[in-house]
Amino acid sequence: MGIRLGELVERFGGQLMGDASIEVSAIAPLDRAGVTDISFLSNSKLRALAAQSHAAALILAPADDAEVAATYEGARIVTPNPYAYFARAAQYFVAARGGAPEPGVHPTAVVHHSAQVDPSAHIGAHVTVEAGAVIKAGAVIDPGCYIGREAVVGEDTHFFANVTFHARCVIGVRGILHSGAVIGGDGFGFAVDDGAYIKIPQTGRVVMGDDVDIGSNTTVDRGALDDTVIEDGVKLDNQIQIGHNCRIGAHTAMAGCVGVAGSAKIGKHCTFGGAAMINGHIEIVDNVHITAATMVPNSITEPGRYTGYFPVARNAEWERNAVLLRNLTTMREKIRALEKAIKALSAEK
């Protein structure tokens, strides 16, 4: 199950300095890599550690190569982005270990006769696939998942166990939905009549692009009339809530527990720290970075990093500051009074 360095470079690029016939069988961090492993240097501060690595080969950046090569005797693969190279190589080693499920439909799965399941797809135990759903080539649907009517699951997309993917929703190729994710639940839309809420049917879909990852127990609601859209390459961590009619721009990433209220439009290449909360009906442009635990009530029109959480302190200190915070108006009045008094004193002279 090893791979020759020559083949690795053919697959993933990089300049090989050393013997192409050397075979490596796993990827490991610098301090643990043994003589059959390949390792990587993604942080120049660790050059010294890399230089002493026992790894058969190292993936590293051009800027680090000279210093490391001075003492390190293994092979080197020089590449501008060693961390991304590591990620791709690690994916290769995991896939090579095997364990991918066999194509076919488990006998306990309930697949409607009008659903189209590609013969190369895998449908696990206790799965339900409703009428008209389409499961494309290489897709893997683990046990306990639910696929609604006319939903579409793209090529090589993987649903972990117990995912719920509702009617007419769509996901592209190479997606990953983790367990407990619920895609296409009804959006939270009501008319108020005489103090009671009247449900507005939610008839839009959730439409997800390619290479989308959705974390465990994350929820994405279907649109009211239009669709909720998750663009290509979006990565959502666990426990996230995306409201109806949102649009999340391509290659935007959100850490766990983020909430995005309905109809928010988020740009591309944004990042959101954990538990950031985004108001509904606002727009955030591309390349905006929101710090964890920050509430964003209004649109953001300029790229950059934005923050807004109360600084933590020892409880007693926080209490003092909290009281003063509530008395800022008084402080301002006192400053005004002082300014007036000074002015009067100065004039008197």
**Which residues are tagged catalytic?**
244
| Residue 20 vs 131, nearer CB to a second copy | 131
Q: Does 312 engage in binding with a second copy (CB under 8 A)?
A: yes
Stretch that binds a second copy, among 51-59, 60-68, 114-122, 181-189 (CB under 8 A): 181-189
Which residues in the 38-97 window bind a second copy by CB under 8 A?
81, 83-84, 86-88, 90-91, 93-94
Is residue 339 a contact point for a second copy (CB under 8 A)?
yes
Which residues are paired to 267 by β-bridges? Answer: none
Question: Which one, of 281, 185, 280, 183, lies nearest residue 236 by Cα?
Answer: 183
**For a second copy, the closer CB: 45 or 326:** 326
Residues 112-171 that bind a second copy (CB under 8 A): 124-126, 128, 142-144, 146, 148-149, 160-162, 164, 166
Q: Which is nearer to a second copy, 118 or 306 (CB)?
A: 306
Contact call for residue 35 and a second copy (CB under 8 A): no
Measured from the CB atom, the residue of 22 and 260 that comes closer to a second copy is 260
Residue 199 phi, psi dihedral angles, 5° rounding: -65, 135
CB distance 128 to 151 below 8 Å: no
CB of 77: closest distance to a second copy in angstroms? 15
d(CA 282, CA 288): 13
> What torsion do the CA atoms of 266, 270, 273, 276 make, to the nearest 10 degrees?
-20
Over the window 197 to 236, marking each residue x when it contacts a second copy by CB under 8 A and - when it does not, the resulting string is xxxxx-x-------x-x-xxx-x-x---x-------x-x-
Footprint of a second copy on residues 254-283 (CB under 8 A)? 255-257, 259, 261, 269, 274-275, 277, 279
Q: Which residues pair with 277 in a beta bridge?
A: 259, 295
We find the least distance from the C-beta atom of residue 22 to a second copy, in angstroms, to be 22
CB of 327 to a second copy, least distance (A): 8
Instruction: Round to whole Å and give the CA distance between 1 and 18.
Output: 21
Of 254, 185, 173, 239, give the one whose Cα is nearest residue 210: 173
Two structure tokens written together for 276: 């950031």
What's the farthest any 2 CA atoms get from each other in the chain? 99
Span from 3-11, 17-25, 65-73, 104-112 in contact with a second copy (CB under 8 A): 104-112
315 binds a second copy (CB under 8 A): yes
Single-letter code of the amino acid located at 326: R
Out of 185, 265, 282, 285, point to the residue binding a second copy (CB under 8 A): 185
Compute the distance between CA of residue 41 and CA of residue 119 in angstroms, rounded to an integer. Answer: 42
Residue 46: which of 87, 82, 90, 6 has the closest Cα? 82
Residue type, 245: N
